[in-house]
Structure 1
Amino acid sequence: MNVIIIILSLLLAVAFIATGWPKAVANSTAQSQAEHLGVPMNGYRVLGFVELAAALGLILGLWWRPIGLIAAGGLVVLMVGATVAHRRVDDPPSAAVPALVLGAAALLDFILIVTR
């Protein structure tokens, strides 16, 4: 297994646990963000659980390639949606940078998994 895939998958998993957990438990920061983006809190919680599931998928994908591909691909789609959500509410471009960076990293992980 490629060491780069292992490191990137684990870093992405940690990042999405860190971003998904507050949404899943609906902490006050997540509630404010959901309100700002115009997303119902229940929907925002679902996004948090999706991020947590994808993080688990990235980890399991180190042993079972198809689940890693699904997780990485799903995160790319999710981060495109996050970028669009920030633009839709006229956030400054800098607000979308985390989603763009994580989406690009997930895309790289996907490509590396496909080509290994």
Structure 2
Amino acid sequence: MSTFAMILSFVLAAVGLLSGLSKFSGSRLATETPGHLDIPVGQYRLAGVLELLAAVGLFLAGIGVVPEALGAAAAFGFALLMVFAIAFHVRAGDGLMPSEPGGAGWAPAAFVFLLAALTGVLILV
């Protein structure tokens, strides 16, 4: 794995860790977002678990504990999660950027999608 891919893996792992943990935080955003997106709380928390698992896979691949292919799979899985996040935000009527409480907009998910896809490709190259 190149140094750049390793750095991106760690950055994406940090994003996954923060995003995944936020879904369990009990904060106003964590409790309002599932209702805003019209998804069950359990499904929202499942997304958080998947983000945490992706973060672990990316970190372990970045430090060389697991095969790079696992890191790439984690990155592409994270990218797929972001496709669903974008779809749910668009379905909820969110615009590109945050515009209302509970409405995060879909630009952050699109950025993370691009980061995850790039990371997955660079791990494999």
Q: TM-score, normalised by structure 2?
A: 0.87
- The share of aligned pairs that are identical, in percent, is 34
Matches within 5 A, 1:34-53: 34-53=34-53
User: Which of the numbers 106, 109, 113 marks the counterpart of 2:116?
Assistant: 106
Whole-Å Cα distance in 2 between the matches of residues 77 and 84 of structure 1? Answer: 11
The worse-fitting range, judged by mean Cα deviation, of 3-12 and 19-28 is 19-28
Q: Please name the residue that 1:84 is paired with.
A: 87
The alignment yields a C-alpha RMSD, in angstroms, of 1.2
Deviation beyond 6 Å, 4+ runs, structure 1:
none
Whole-Å Cα distance in 1 between the matches of residues 13 and 31 of structure 2? Answer: 23
Cα contact 1:26–1:41 (8 A) shared by 2 = no
Please report how far the alpha carbon of residue 28 of structure 1 lies from its aligned counterpart in structure 2 after TM superposition: 3.3
Cα contact 1:24–1:49 (8 A) shared by 2 = no
Please report how far the alpha carbon of residue 56 of structure 1 lies from its aligned counterpart in structure 2 after TM superposition: 0.3
The worse-fitting range, judged by mean Cα deviation, of 47-56 and 24-33 is 24-33
Q: Please name the residue that 2:101 is paired with.
A: none
Note the residue ranges of structure 2 that are not aligned, 5 or more in a row. Answer: 98-104
Q: Please name the residue that 2:96 is paired with.
A: 93
Structure 2 letter corresponding to 1:39: I
Structure 2 letter corresponding to 1:75: F
Higher relative contact order (CA 8 A, sep 6+): 2
The worse-fitting range, judged by mean Cα deviation, of 103-112 and 27-36 is 27-36
Whole-Å Cα distance in 2 between the matches of residues 106 and 72 of structure 1? Answer: 5
Cα contact 1:51–1:75 (8 A) shared by 2 = yes
Q: Deviations over 1:2-55 (max 9, x none)?
A: 110111010111111111102134543211011100111111111101100000
Whole-Å Cα distance in 2 between the matches of residues 38 and 3 of structure 1? Answer: 40
Q: Please name the residue that 2:20 is paired with.
A: 20
Q: TM-score, normalised by structure 1?
A: 0.93
Whole-Å Cα distance in 1 between the matches of residues 39 and 68 of structure 2? Answer: 33
